[in-house]
Amino acid sequence: MEDAYARSVSEVLESFGVDPTKGLSDFQVAEHARLYGRNVLPQDGSTPFWKLVLKQFDDLLVKILIAAAVVSFFLALINGETGLTAFLEPSVILMILAANAAVGVITETNAEKALEELRAYQADIATVLRNGCFSILPATDLVPGDIVEVSVGCKIPADMRMIEMLSDQLRVDQAILTGESCSVGKELESTLATKAVYQDKTNILFSGTVVVAGRARAVVVGIGSNTAMGSIRDSMLRTEDEVTPLKKKLDEFGTFLAKVIAGICVLVWVVNIGHFRDPAHGGFLRGAIHYFKIAVALAVAAIPEGLPAVVTTCLALGTKRMARLNAIVRSLPSVETLGCTTVICSDKTGTLTTNMMSVSKICVLHSVHHVPITTEYSVSGTTYAPEGFIFGSDGMQLEFPAQLPCLLHIAMCSALCNESVLQYNPDKGNYEKIGESTEVALRVLAEKVGLPGFDSMPSALNMLSKHERASYCNRYWENQFKKVSLLEFSRDRKMMSVLCSRKQMEIMFSKGAPESIISRCTSILCNDDGSTVPLTANIRAELESRFHSFAGKETLRCLALALKRMPMGQQTVSLDDEKDLTFVGLVGMLDPPREEVRNAILSCMTAGIRVIVVTGDNKSTAESLCQKIGAFDHLVDFVGHSYTASEFEELPALQKTVALQRMAMFTRVEPSHKRMLVEALQHQNEVVAMTGDGVNDAPALKKADIGIAMGSGTAVAKSASDMVLADDNFATIVAAIAEGRAIYNNTKQFIRYMISSNIGEVVCIFVAAVLGIPDTLVPVQLLWVNLVTDGLPATAIGFNKQDCDVMKAKPRKVNEAVVTGWLFFRYLVVGAYVGLATVAGFIWWFVYADNGPKLPYVELMSFDTCSTRQTTYPCSVFNDRHPSTVSMTVLVVVEMFNALNNLSENQSLLVIPPWSNLWLLGSIVLTMLLHILILYVRPLSVLFSVTPLSWADWTVVLYLSFPVVIIDEILKFFSRNSSSNVISELFFSAQIYVF
């Protein structure tokens, strides 16, 4: 029943045909079970493992690599190759693809855990009335129409409509669903609100929430998927994971590269059709196969096989750095997404605030003989830990607060007129509450006031263990006073009272809403001498003024405390006794903002990131908090910047668009609103980070570009998120964004490095094919260069230091190219040199090397007709491994110099020297050692078709390689120079997007 909140109790009971005194009969239970099903969240069929694996290979670039591996294998078999040489190249390719697929499968498997965690919030048992008898049944057996009784500590087993109150009040903690910082009072009356959100449905008990006070009966109106918790599950199922900006660019790059590769391969094959019949090939078919192998080699050269592995490694290194900042990354791509975040939708409770109510202000009567007659005290400490101090109106800390009469009696009343528990949890290392957060705040206040009569009290308390310290002062007062009788809180009185006895003296302590307590007081306690004086109209007006200041301007939750001497021997307390009270003091409490939030939000603004506070709390409370944070001081007022969910929904489409661009506050929201906000911002091309900790936040966390859960939050929120804040601190998000931007900059640098290197390999093979000279490099050599000699330096580039002004730049746009027109031109120039230098090394050995044949260049171009002509040299010289070894070594060394070029995009090596990144220098040394290993160790040299080089060969290699540094330094100079824009326009009037 979706509108049960709007119907009367009798209408709801009648619709289910249930008698509230007897409950459902067995026949009705069976019938309702058949109609509505079981009270469980359905098990959603997870994606089969084999489908997850296949999905990882659904990429054009990957398919080309697989095709290249298969073709390479078959060509090797056609040529009669067997053993390791036939399988090496395809095996290496497939191993890389398998490793990348494994990472993808693990990431996607984690995403499905959120739905499993959601079931943990379903109650296990329920007290149900059936056939006129109460019994305890599994919650899964509940059906709509069942009458259920709930009391303090009960987890609500289904969505239920209140039908009978069995105590003065019923309060429920529904923060996991709505994000409200305080428990909510429930009532029997139907709700008249139109478009009611969860917070407005005050007669509905929601599945998974917890009763914190009172006892009541309710009728089940929704089970399983038809509950508020079920709607969250459905919303999460409808949410598809967003592709990260970098992933989009890599996908676009794959498509672009596939087209280029296909074009070049076909071109090389077509250009050489005339050579298919050359005698060296032994026939037209073998000639066609030979040049097809060259085309495959081109494909292997053009595809950066190591790119996915290097990207994954760099992001993994970033996650380790973030973990040290208390930001635990659950999804690797989200590391990069952080760098282009433009909007942070921040949950209020627990993220901007501590989610722990604490007393921050105290107001007492100082003396009727002095002006001002009242005194205010401020209290430090914003958590449930009994750590903090009390400060006077002059800002000075009170050394012994318990020596002041009013503060002493406030501590007594806070400890005795209290039904909550404060305890220390050694497993979690923090203090926890049981009961109402406002009552726990009073217990913490009693601990901060301390005990009277001991000069060493503050230091003595600090010597206690944390377990003993949690309630030491509260237990002292409970041992001093024996509780005799209790009057529970009720909505009409708005107060509670407790009768206590001590040494033949009976005292009634009361606490409640200030308007209720003050109206029942006739006298007031003075703080200067402990005397009691009549509560005059002037004093009453002053107290009410302070109360309105606390509640209005400062939006504090206020409670007044009072006491009354009772006749000796009285054993009960009645409503008639709650009059002629003595006013003790007024306390104001709040869920305090975190101290570091202000600077964090200001950092976001400097970085061009907008912050929107999203909360289930009411508008005035949220606006007051933002004023306390001070980060929204640039707003004259919140008009046009602050909206409730219902206000926003009523706006016309055009005004909604404008509102989204100016919004700073979004209040009275429920889960669907949070998800709607994320989608609306994404439609405006914003990159959205959403924070949250409750079950209600899970759909929005999953939908956002990056979902950020609190470490103390629910398991559902953590499982649906991309990142978890171990310290629940908003400031950690800002630090993570800075790290994300730095990681992206480094990722961009090594992608460019690999692009220019691969361009060099393509140029090398293409130029050799066009010139008609022998193959400069064989595919297995290209694989070695791409995976090892490219991969290690590219990974080390990820260790480039973070720029000092990384958080002063505006967020990059999602569609911003990694390589634009001028940069693409730069890397074409560098890549072209790499390729030409490699070919030059090959030609040098044949034409000029002392240990080479010193052939005329024309002979080298006619190598394929050698067997049909008389020559002064043996044709076997063209099978010598020296020239390809020189080419491969030139390629490796020139790419090491090119790696140094990528320490910075535009800064010279004279400004950012090579030793600024020792990891890069180490990777270059390791790469050269590995290359020397395959040159000089016999089994490896045979495997890679290489041979040892002489010192003369190495000298030429260095001469051919070093100029790449000079070329890039010249290009960097033009980039730094303002005329580079002109150059860019001359060469590329429109930007060329490689990604």
SS3 35: helix
Q: What is the pLDDT of residue 985?
A: 43
**Fold classification of 360-590 (topology level):** Calcium-transporting ATPase, cytoplasmic domain N (3.40.1110)
* Residue 637, pLDDT score: 75
For residue 624, the model assigns a pLDDT of: 79
Stated as kind and residue range, the H or E segment containing 167 is strand 159-173
Beta bridge partners of 390: 379
| 615 neighbors 197 (Cβ within 8 angstroms) | no
The count of other CB atoms within 10 Å of the CB of residue 43 is 9
Residue ranges of the domains in the chain? Answer: 243-318+738-977, 327-353+594-728, 360-590
pLDDT of residue 415: 95
Closest CA to 39 of 228, 222, 234, 219: 222
Look at residue 693 in the predicted model and tell me its pLDDT: 76
Distance CA 559, CA 515 (A): 9
Cα-to-chain-centroid distance, residue 59: 27
Is residue 641 within 8 Å of residue 668, measured between CB atoms? Answer: no
- The span from the CA of 340 to the CA of 687, in Å, is 7
Contact present, 207 and 159 (Cβ < 8 Å): yes
> In the prediction, which pLDDT does 59 show?
64
Contact assessment for residue 346 and residue 597, using Cβ atoms and an 8 Å cutoff: no
* Residue 146: predicted pLDDT: 93
CATH number attached to the domain at 327-353+594-728: 3.40.50.1000
Q: Would you please indicate which residues are annotated as catalytic (active-site) residues?
A: 347
Amino acid 176 reads I
Burial 563-589 (b: 16+ CB within 10 A, else e): bbebeeeeeebeeebbeebbbbbbbbb
- Nearest CA to 830 out of 761, 777, 765, 729 is that of 761
**Burial annotation 71-107 (CB, 10 A radius, 16+ → b, else e):** bbbebbeeeeeeeeebbbbbebbbebbeebbebbbeb
Tokens of 426: 């050694």
CA torsion angle 531 536 540 546 (round to 10): -60
Provide the pLDDT for residue 27: 92
**In contact, 578 and 520? CB cutoff 8 Å:** yes
The dihedral sign for the CA sequence 831, 837, 842, 847: positive
What pLDDT score does 983 carry? Answer: 44
Which parts of the chain sit beneath pLDDT 50? 107, 110-121, 456, 978-995
Distance CA 637, CA 619 (A): 13
> In the 3-class helix/strand/coil scheme, how is 421-485 assigned residue by residue?
EEEEECCCCEEEEECCHHHHHHHHHHHHHCCCCCCCHHHHHHCCCHHHHCCHHHHHHHHHCEEEE
pTM of the model: 0.64
Cβ count near 70 (within 10 Å): 13
Q: What is the pLDDT of residue 990?
A: 40
Question: CATH homologous superfamily of domain 243-318+738-977?
Answer: Calcium-transporting ATPase, transmembrane domain (1.20.1110.10)
Distance CA 961, CA 964 (A): 6
Helix (H) or strand (E) holding 973: helix 963-976
Give me Rg for the CA atoms of the chain: 38
Using an 8 Å Cβ cutoff, are 12 and 161 in contact?
yes
Say if 243-318+738-977 and 360-590 have the same CATH topology.
Answer: no
Structure tokens belonging to residue 978:
């303002």
Structure confidence at residue 119 (pLDDT): 47
Torsion, CA 302, CA 304, CA 305, CA 307, rounded to 10: -170
